[in-house]
């Protein structure tokens, strides 16, 4: 559950393969359809998976979809097509999801994620009523609710402004800024001591100039 069918290394599938390999009795593996077995982004990976299962001594049967014709070439082509359709379904779903997210962001909504230091979250109900959730308050948004960020705790907002103005003056490095905040007894975003890395993360975060970035990966 919650693991994409495109992940051929997903735990459930690997558990199945181990069972098929270790079982002394061989027989039929039954799946509702090919996309229940896998939704590979490259349809050839689906054929390789099927060949691996057959190589372990099992016959694959699908309740729905193309049935065996007895012609190896025809069966391979039809299998390739169905695996391609499964991958296309994932691609279309991803495209539709991104399109909906972009539309909601254009309307001023925040798609999710951790509330940045200095901000608070506003929940907008279907009737238009609003409720402010502080940064440290845990809350799970309902599907019908919309969210946006606003300036949060006054002390945190002042700290953010001080950080940017002081760093922009060129008079302090990250470690020095952290030392000054700790000396003043101001708690870091997570509640402990400030360190140079936390300062850097804030100063390079585009949210503080009004730009929203999400779904970013670093490798």
Tens of pLDDT, residue by residue over 1-22, are 666 667 778 888 899 999 999 9
Higher per-residue pLDDT: 69 or 117:
117
- pLDDT tens, 91-142? 676 666 677 777 777 777 776 678 899 999 888 888 888 888 888 888 777 7
Nearest Cα residue to 40 out of 5, 79, 2: 5
Q: Determine the Cα–Cα distance for residues 154 and 158; give it in Å rounded to an integer.
A: 6
Note whether 4 and 89 are within 8 A (CB): no
Task: Residue 5: count other Cβ atoms within 10 Å of its Cβ.
Answer: 19
Which token pair is 151? 């300036």
Q: Would the pLDDT of 203 be above 90?
A: yes
Q: Within the chain, where are the H helices?
A: 11-22, 34-37, 43-55, 72-106, 154-168, 174-183, 196-203
């Amino acid at each position: 559950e919650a693991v994409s069918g495109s992940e051929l290394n997903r735990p459930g599938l690997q558990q199945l393969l181990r069972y098929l390999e270790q079982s002394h009795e061989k027989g039929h593996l039954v799946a509702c359809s090919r996309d229940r077995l896998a939704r590979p982004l490259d349809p050839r990976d689906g054929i390789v998976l099927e060949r691996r299962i057959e190589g372990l001594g099992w016959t694959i049967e699908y309740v729905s979809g193309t049935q065996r014709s007895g012609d190896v070439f025809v069966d391979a082509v039809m299998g390739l097509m169905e695996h391609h359709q499964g991958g296309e379904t994932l691609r279309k779903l991803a495209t539709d999801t991104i399109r909906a997210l972009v539309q909601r962001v254009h309307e001023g909504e925040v798609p999710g994620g951790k509330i940045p230091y200095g901000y608070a979250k506003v929940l907008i109900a279907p009737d238009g009523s609003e409720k402010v959730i502080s940064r440290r308050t845990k809350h799970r948004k309902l599907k019908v609710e919309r969210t946006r960020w606003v300036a949060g705790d006054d002390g945190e907002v002042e700290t953010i402004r001080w950080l940017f103005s002081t760093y922009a003056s060129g008079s302090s490095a990250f470690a020095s800024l952290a030392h000054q905040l700790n000396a003043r007894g101001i708690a870091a975003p997570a509640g402990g001591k400030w360190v140079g890395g936390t300062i850097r993360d804030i100063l390079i975060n585009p949210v503080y100039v009004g730009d929203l970035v999400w779904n970013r990966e670093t490798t």
